[in-house]
Amino acid sequence: MKSKTKTRWNHATRFAMGFGILALLVAITPTLVTAWVPPKAITLVLGSTPGGAYDTIARHTAQYLPGFLGSKRAAIVQNMPGAGDRIMMNYVRRSKPDGCTIGLFEGDALQQSRAFGFIDWDPLQELTIFGGIWTPPPCVLIVATHPAVRPDPLQTWEELKKITKPIRIASYAQTGELALIPVLEKHNIPYIIVPGYTGLPPAASALLRGEADIVTGAGTMIPLRYVKDGTCVPLMVVSDERYKGMPEVGIISVETAPTVVELGVPEFGKIKPGRIWFGPKDLPSEVENGTIAGLKKVSEDPRTQEWMKKVGIPMTWMDKKTVLDAYDAGTKLFNDFRDLAKKMGFGTED
């Protein structure tokens, strides 16, 4: 006959083991952040082609977002490039307000569409803005082999002020370029806009081939690797404070580069670049709040932190107010610098 002590010990052991298994399941299962569960598979829509930062972010989000919303269906990524994000913007805008269609676009695209009159509706009235992903500020880089530039970036601006031959800007209609030109004009530095590049990689290649002297780009791995290996010198950062980089993601510091505010064009210091998550209007509050919570949870998840280190693409969460403030500031800048922006290829219909 079993003793009462042994029986009690067996019960306690089984209870402890059961509790341990339950704790383990809780630890490895994504936390459900909302009572709302999507009624069907979520589709993440973006206006870029496969590959690149936008597509990479969307596919990473698609991997984890359903779990945080309690859905067992895999999310779908749908690429809809063209018309400056307006094709995908209208697709999401006209979708059913059930929380199953989510768009991702760059703040620039939204600001340009409104500032240049390419849409006859107000995005803030016709879309639901969830929040966004902060992007490092645009950094303007100049190739170190330019005859006007010495290896020490602290000497760069003083050297540039002495040149007479125009500096060639490899333009692909990026906000950093729009900020650079007023600075060059303020300091009487001659320049030529070389338009027609389709993105940062072709523009950076032109810089390295000697076809251009300056290129701009968000302070992430593509342009900053040229600073790290000594090929390029950081010239300016489009921000109101010097950029220290993100060591935890592997993005190096460019604190030697002065800000656009320091160089005398403070209005561009208000820019806070980012990628914006949005959906159609008239979403029920539980759907909107649940989606916001889920997207934020993906950004903050430890697996995302590890992923950022591998790919060098930040996914730091921006709340809705920060996104809307940046939208207002950016739209005003595009309006104020409309002629220059169009000259550089901003706000094109293609």
Q: Residue 283 pLDDT more than 80?
A: yes
In terms of average pLDDT, the best of 78-82, 136-140, 296-300, 336-340 is 296-300
> Using CA atoms, how far apart are residues 146 and 341, in angstroms rounded to an integer?
26
Query: Nearest CA to 177 among 346, 45, 2, 4?
Result: 346
Rounded CA-CA distance 119/135 in Å is: 25
Res 347: pLDDT: 59
* pLDDT of 338 above 50: yes
> Are residues 92 and 278 in contact, defined by beta-carbon separation less than 8 angstroms?
yes
Residues 83-107 have pLDDT tens digits of: 878 899 999 999 999 999 999 988 7
Q: Please state which CATH number belongs to domain 43-135+273-343.
A: 3.40.190.150
Percentage of the chain beyond pLDDT 90 is 35
Instruction: Determine the CATH number of domain 138-270.
Output: 3.40.190.10
**Predicted TM-score of the model (pTM):** 0.77
Taking 60 as the threshold, does the pLDDT of residue 238 lie above it? Answer: yes
Helices 221-228, 200-209: inter-axial angle, 10-degree rounding = 20
Asked if the model's pLDDT at residue 21 lies above 80, the reply is: no
Q: Are 292 and 131 in contact (CB under 8 A)?
A: yes
Domain boundaries for CATH 3.40.190.150 within the chain: 43-135+273-343
Q: Are strands 191-194 and 167-170 parallel, antiparallel or unpaired?
A: parallel
Q: Backbone phi, then psi, for 194, in 5-degree steps?
A: -105, 95
- Any idea which residue has 């081939």 for tokens? 209
pLDDT digits (tens, 9 = 90+) for 132-161: 998 888 777 776 555 555 555 556 788 888
Flag whether pLDDT at 35 surpasses 60.
Answer: yes
**Segments of the chain assigned to CATH 3.40.190.10:** 138-270
Are the CB atoms for 33 and 297 separated by under 8 Å? yes
Higher pLDDT, 285 or 30: 285
Please tell me the distance from the alpha carbon of residue 243 to that of residue 238, in angstroms, as a whole number: 9
152 secondary structure, DSSP code: -
Does the structure show a pLDDT above 60 at 2?
A: no
